[in-house]
Amino acid sequence: MQLQKLEMFSCGVHFGHKPRYWNPQTEPYVYGKHPELDLHIIDLDKSLILFDKALQFVRSTVQARGNVLFVGTKRNAQEVVKAYAELVGMPYVTSRWLGGMLTNFKTIKKSVEALTLMEEQFQAGRFEGYTKKERLTFVRRLEKLRINLGGIKAMKSLPDVIFVVDVKHEAIAIAEANKLGIPVIGIVDTNASPAGIDYVVPGNDDSVSAINYYAKNVAKVIGMEQEKLAEVIKREAADRAAKAPKIIKIEAKPAEPVEEIEAELLEKVEKTMKKTVKRVTKAVSKDDEVVPVKKTVRKKKIETKE
């Protein structure tokens, strides 16, 4: 994807602030001063190069399956940032940056879990035993959580990079990212400081058309890489399926009835007993006299009488 300087110009990216608000740290990015409008003009050649560099970093982040957090809480940026972040399924913050949103992420995550549970309860309509006042309090709290945390509800871990529309307005977010070592891509106007910004993009951060230009291109790069990533994941799944050992299906024999099993066992026992009797009979000598038990008893009785 190639950026066009003419498109930047038509979106008003080159318009800076009045000289009295100028931050000298942005001097390398200032082309000059507009005599009639009394505004600093930003050098679009440098903006083009630096924005392209930032987009390359976004591309590599998405290729590594990372997440980009969109941040734009100023009124001009809210709707635009939210729309493009949702378009590519990335987290965003557009209402208010809560202190500790990054540095105290564990606590924020608990609040997000509470939001999820409340939404489930609201959708299921489980309000039995609630008074009218309690229901109203519940709905108000739910709405507040949605406004503040709705954009990061699907963010399971810290972002890999944050994209900030106005670095002066989002100073707390940048400070937290710097503390945690999270790279920052920031739009730096002539009244702001580029300190703490890993990927500086000199440009107008007030015009809706300019903000739309930045967010659109960041989202476009993310969308393109997501499509490529989906194809890679699909191929990997196919390769794993091809390499996986084939499962041989073994058909189980139907179980025999219990009566048949018992009959077979009895038959085997009888055969065994017959063989045992034959062996014992052969072992006894033919000359041995076998006296029946009854006759022996009678003979003893006769001898006693005499």
């015009």: which residue's tokens?
207
What does the pLDDT look like over 214-265, one tens digit per residue? 999 999 999 999 999 888 888 777 777 777 776 666 565 555 565 666 667 6
Residue 249: its pLDDT value, please? 61
The pLDDT of residue 3: 76
Q: What pLDDT was estimated at residue 293? A: 47
Please give the full DSSP string across 68-130, using - where no structure is assigned.
Answer: EEEE--SHHHHHHHHHHHHHTT--EE-S---TTTTTTHHHHHHHHHHHHHHHHHHHHT--TT-
Between the CA of residue 245 and those of 55, 235, 248, 252, what are the distances in Å? 42, 18, 9, 21
- The answer to whether the CB of 102 falls within 8 A of the CB of 182 is yes
160 and 67 in contact (C-beta within 8 Å)?
Answer: yes
Greatest Cα-to-Cα distance within the chain, rounded to the nearest angstrom: 162
Q: Which residues of the chain, if any, have pLDDT below 50?
A: 285, 290-291, 293-306
Which domains are seen in the chain, by residue range?
Answer: 5-242 (3.40.50.10490), 258-305 (no CATH)
Please report the DSSP string for 232-259 in residue order.
HHHHHHHHHHHHSPPPPP-PPPPPPPHH
Return all residues near 52 (Cβ < 8 A) that are at least 6 apart: 3
- The pTM assigned to this predicted structure is 0.75
Q: Are the beta carbons of 3 and 21 closer than 8 angstroms?
A: no
Q: What is the pLDDT of residue 277?
A: 61
pLDDT at 234: 81
Q: For residue 224, what are the contacts with CB-CB under 8 A and spacing of at least 6?
A: 1, 59
The reported pLDDT for the residue numbered 229 is: 87
